[in-house]
Amino acid sequence: MPNLFDPLTLRGVTFRNRIGVAPMCQYSAEDGFANDWHLVHLGSRAVGGAGLVIAEATAVEARGRISPEDLGIWQDAHIEPLARITRFIREEGAVSGIQLAHAGRKASTFRPWSGRGAVDESQGGWPVVGASPNAFSDDYPMPQELTVAEIQIIVEAFVAAAKRADAAGFDVIEIHAAHGYLIHSFYSPLSNQRTDEYGGDFEGRIRLLLDITERIRAIWDKPLFVRISATDWVEGGWTIDDSVELAKRLKTLGVDLVDCSSGGVVAGVTYAAGAGYQVPLSDVVRNQAGIPTAAVGMITQAMQADEIIRNGRADMVLMAREFLRQPYWPLYAAAELHQTDRREIPPQYVRSF
């Protein structure tokens, strides 16, 4: 089996190791535009040795932002600021990815340090849309149910965003279909009460994700990932068995990797979160659906991450908070795992390692 520092090649794109920077919202954009903060935040992790650096949830339309300060890719003017970032990431030996997203009923909310719940329109908020007219919680906005025609407009927005991602130089697209945002709110029975072709049974509820995936794959010839919530952690909700079946469908549509997260579709859910608590989800999807996966969630230690890869529980590990604490985590992990020959230390830093 490969180890954490073995390269991985998908559709002709080679990742120098199996370590990825997970998408992390920075809530630091204005009108969706990337700026110096995003360049330094993402670029420093490429300098630090990650194989893949994924930009945060990037809205395919303005009303798809989680907060007014989210990144966007709904207009051509967004391309060049993002291209500046992809050029730097590539120069530092990493692969650049972007997570294309629509927040749905969880949109128009305050960034974490500015408040909680819905942002009023007088403060820059906007009306939100969703699979069905039910709010995430009492302090979140009530969504308007999307019509079938409006759903098609959003599908087209994802396709247009994928084209802009290509123009900006990204080598990986990840479709954000997790954490209770728009696509997840369609496939989870807890949030989708529709009775048309985008609701009802399993086939109807997964239709939006399959439509978006198929349309993006038709115009995108590089690696395509999908992040899912592999379980809702709630009785009567989406299950790991559902995820296996969904992953099989995604594989037939040309998805290269399923990024296995969980939860987020209903408020107040409790579950046993701990070190590597979502790794079993990745393990099941990978080995029952026969598709590469990424493991996420409280992965912090080099031996822990290496074990996941060596034992075939995932093909990549994506880390978020640990990369905030230590942008150069891969360089230290390589030393701990006796893989120093695999490190790519920038010459400016080589005397320090």
Residue 175 tokens read as 């479709």
Question: What is the reported pLDDT for 92?
Answer: 97
Exactly one of 27, 140, 181, 198 is catalytic; name it. 181
pLDDT at position 1: 80
Distance CA 346, CA 109 (A): 39
Please give the C-alpha separations between residue 298 and each of 131, 276, 301, 306, in angstroms, as whole numbers: 30, 5, 9, 14
181: annotated active-site residue: yes
Give the separation between CA 167 and CA 225, rounded to whole angstroms: 18
φ/ψ of 27, rounded to 5, equals 50, 45
Residue type present at position 20: G
* Residue whose C-alpha is closest to residue 117's, from 126, 108, 104: 108
* pLDDT (0 to 100) of residue 291: 98
What does the pLDDT read at residue 353? 86
Strands 293-296 and 129-130: unpaired
The reported pLDDT for the residue numbered 101 is: 98
Residues of the chain with pLDDT under 70: none
Helices (H), the chain: 36-47, 79-91, 148-167, 182-187, 202-205, 207-219, 240-252, 279-289, 302-310, 321-325, 329-336
**Separation of alpha carbons 322 and 300, rounded Å:** 6
Q: Got the DSSP string for 209-224?
A: HHHHHHHHHHH--S-E
pTM: 0.98
User: 93 near 16, Cβ under 8 Å?
Assistant: yes
